Every structure is written in structure tokens, then in C-alpha cells.
Amino acid sequence: MPDTLTIIDNRTGKQYELSIANDTIKAMDLRQIKVNENDFGLMTYDPAFMNTASCKSMITFIDGEKGILRYRGYPIEHLAEKSNYLETAYLILYGELPNKPQYEEWVHNITYHTLIHENIKKLMDGFHYDAHPMGMLISTVAALSTFYNDAKEIHNPESRKKQTYRLIGKMPTIAAFAFRHSVGRPYVYPDNALSYTANLMSMLWKMTETQFQAHPALVKALDVLFILHADHEQNCSANAMRSIGSSHVDPYAAIAGAAAALYGPLHGGANEAVLRMLDEIGTKDNVPSFIKGVKSGSGRLMGFGHRVYKNYDPRAKVIKQLADEVFEVTGRNPKLDIALELERIALEDEYFVKRKLYPNVDFYSGLIYQAMGFPVEMFPVLFSIPRTAGWIAQWEEMLLDSDQKIARPRQVYLGSGMRDYVVMSKRK
Ligand code: ACO
């Protein structure tokens, strides 16, 4: 059987044969389908990219029906159990797990790029006392673009490597400084003797002690959360990263845009929205009436549903198990009972079952973050730190893909035809 698709245009009776590769036809092959020579040719209409592959990728595999997520072929559950965030970031970026010298060099390079320029600190000082840390993170990452002019050399692999170290190294520092600014505490500089996540915790919570000692179980839990959030193929922010990057702007400007896309409550801002929702529900007894409200269209059940997963989000499964380990150290987050009841009812309710709405990564992550002491405003920030590796990998793959050009979708124009300008005195 040939790998082709035969199309008959009933407007003209003409027949076309399009080739199929990887279960995909090329949208540009439709352009030849015309009613007459002056016709522009057929396009597809696909708002929100519901059924359009915008790239070929070798980074992350998701099977939404089966609830499978793999980075470079490795199941997320195995990485969560056996790897650590920096090793996973290396895997995502370079395609293979590092050997020992590669790993040590990688960790060294990230660790020695954690400091930020003192002027960045001054810039952060300028934010209002109640500035949202995610807004601060987005703006500050954009500002990094003005500090590293070499970042404009996006076609130079050495320059890309350098910006990768800087971005992955500095994100936790900027995130922690944003938090310290919001609570009026002095900034804590990075401690190179600590691991990636232990250092972040030190920069967030260290007071006057010589070295901050985070609980090892919590350091491990945060590291696992970072692994789970490191990449997720062509989601809203990855798509933003590729789209902005396709104009060949430097990676700091592109990451600021990707982080802005992540900030929204339908994407990475959902973990913050989940906690606000649980607060609004208040007690377990109010769950049935809340669910009723969601079904009648008064709002969404935040942390539920996903564009790709039509099954339990595999990250949510790992997080649910992790929650028990964290609560053993921190004490149980009382909102867990409300979340469990929401999940129990929703998974039995026809509305959610019919629409295949299951808990996503954000449903339980916020409960863990809160139990660990992070304020809700920090949740999207905690998502952005590990996702930086994914954004850079997606950006680099896009830059090196000879099929890619500047991202520029088409539109179906339905506005006015040509009209004559009317002077103001004659307008109705
Ligand atoms: N609560 C109630 N109903 C929902 C929910 C929800 N959380 N999610 C989807 N639905 C319903 C929609 O109303 C729609 O119903 P309809 O067919 O009767 O109109 C149907 O399910 C399909 O929903 P869409 O919005 O078409 O699905 P889409 O793929 O566009 O949206 C999204 C996916 C944005 C994640 C959505 O499920 C949502 O808003 N969830 C809540 C926000 C959230 O948790 N976001 C985090 C996603 S994970 C991440 O980004 C890290």
C-alpha cells in the first residue's frame, strides 16, 4: 500500500495525491489545490494547533491516551526514581545520559554560573514590595539579554553552551532573589558546596546560620519535582520559545517570552490556581457543590484536564506518591483531604469521565510546595526553573532544524473588504 493520500476537490473534480510520512501530510502540499490559477490554494484552519505538528522532535515523547511520558526514550518514572535534575537536564539537552567526567564537568559549569551581576540585583531592588515573583523572574531574565551581548551569536555552538550554563545556573538565583525581595530579607548568594536544589533552598531560606541545612528528604523531593517539570514537548511555553527563537533573537529574550507563556493559569500558573481554588472550597463538605458549579460552567476544576493527556498524567502519579514522603517530614497539608475528595468525585462523575479529564501535574504539586514552605506566588517560578532546560533544548533543536524558518502562521481573513476613508465630520 502506498504511503499516500488521495484527495478529490469536489469544486473542480480534480484529484491530488499527497505523500504521507510519519502519519503526517505536509500542509504546503495542499497549496496546489486551487479552483483557478489566481486562487491562493487550500490551507488548513487549526486554531490552537489541535492537529498540527509544528516540528519534528527527538526530545520528549508523550502518549496522551496511555499516560506515557519519556525524555529521550527514558520513562519519567525511571528518571524520577534514579536520576537527578542536573543529569536529566543534560539528557534533555544533549540526548544521552552523561558519563562520569561529562556529568562532573556539566555540574561544575552550572555551579560556577549561579552568581548574577550586582546590577541585576539593583534592577530587582526596583520592583514594588508586593511584585509577583513570576513577573520579576520574567523581567529579570529578559534583562540578562542586556548583560550578555555574546548571546546574540546564536549560530555559534560555544556561545549557545555558555548561555545554557548561565540560564540553568542563574534561574534559581533570580527566583530566590525575587522571593527574598518580596519578604524584605537580604539576598543570599549561591553556595557552591550545595547541590542544585539544596542551593536554591539555601538562597530562599538561609538566615544567619553559616550553612543552611535543608532536610535531605525535601531536597530530594524538590529535585524529583524538577525532573518531572523539565520538559513536556510542544506545550504553550515551548511553542512560544520556538516561535520567538525563530526570529533569531537571543535566548534570554526568548526564555522571558516562554516564561510569560508559562505564567498563565491555563498552563504553569495552574498550580497556584489550584491552591487558591482549594482555599475557596475551604472544607471537604463543600466539594460536591463546587463540582456542581464547575459542571454548570461557573469555572474550571484547576489542575484537571490536559490538551494531550486523556488519561492520568504520569507526572501527577509520581507527585501523589512523593506527597506522602514530604508530608512525613512537614506534616500533612490539610488541603490534601479536599484535593483527594475532588479527585475521587471527579473521577466518578460523568462530566469528567466523558471528557477524559484527569488530574494533571499541577493538581498535587502545589500541595507539596506549600507544605515545604513555598508561598503560592512562587509556584510558577518553581516550574520555570527546571523547564529552562526543556526550553533551551527545544530552542536549539529548532535552530538546527533545516526545515524551520521564522514562525509565521496564516490567517483566514473575514474582515471588511476595501472601503473608502470617511472624514470624521461625516462619520455617524
Ligand atoms: N474543568 C472543567 N471542565 C473542563 C476542564 C476543567 N479543568 N478542562 C476542560 N474542561 C472541559 C471543557 O469545558 C470542554 O467541555 P465542552 O466540550 O463541554 O466544551 C472540554 O472539557 C474540553 O476542554 P478544552 O478546553 O477544549 O480542552 P483544551 O485541550 O483546550 O484545554 C486545558 C486543556 C487548558 C489544560 C484545560 O483542561 C484546562 O483549562 N484545565 C484547567 C487548567 C489547568 O489545570 N492547566 C494546567 C495544564 S498542565 C500544564 O500546563 C502544566
Residue pair 311/67 in contact by the 8 Å Cβ criterion: yes
What pLDDT does residue 29 have?
A: 98
The residue contributing the CA closest to ligand 1 atom 45 is: 266
Backbone φ and ψ for 375, nearest 5 degrees, come out as -70, 155
Taking alpha carbons only, the member of 339, 330, 338, 343 closest to residue 369 is 330
CATH number of 270-371: 1.10.230.10
Catalytic residue among 113, 223, 306, 313: 306
Low-confidence ranges of the chain (pLDDT < 70): none
Domain layout of the chain by residue ranges = 69-216+224-264, 270-371
Q: Verify whether ligand 1 is closer than 6 Å to residue 62 (CB atom).
A: no
Ligand 1 center to 361 CA (angstroms): 13
**pLDDT tens, 45-96?**
999 999 999 999 999 999 999 999 999 999 999 999 999 999 999 999 999 9
CA distances from 294 to 32, 272, 302, 328, 349 (A): 46, 18, 10, 32, 12
Q: Judge: domain 69-216+224-264, CATH 1.10.580.10.
A: yes
Active-site annotation holds for 267? yes
Q: Verify whether ligand 1 is closer than 6 Å to residue 201 (CB atom).
A: no
Taking alpha carbons only, the member of 359, 366, 326 closest to residue 344 is 359
Instruction: Determine whether 198 is exposed, middle or buried from the number of CB atoms within 10 Å of its CB (0-12, 13-18, 19+).
Output: buried
Residue pair 383/262 in contact by the 8 Å Cβ criterion: yes
What pTM does this model have? 0.94
What pLDDT does residue 334 have?
A: 87
What pLDDT does residue 272 have?
A: 87
Catalytic residue among 181, 250, 267, 313: 267
What pLDDT does residue 1 have?
A: 83
CA distances from 374 to 64, 125, 265, 316, 380 (A): 30, 21, 18, 19, 11
Ligand 1 center to 304 CA (angstroms): 7
- In terms of DSSP H, where are the helices of 54-207? 76-82, 85-94, 100-111, 118-125, 133-147, 157-183, 196-205
Ligand 1 center to 24 CA (angstroms): 26
Q: Verify whether ligand 1 is closer than 6 Å to residue 302 (CB atom).
A: yes
Q: Verify whether ligand 1 is closer than 6 Å to residue 304 (CB atom).
A: yes
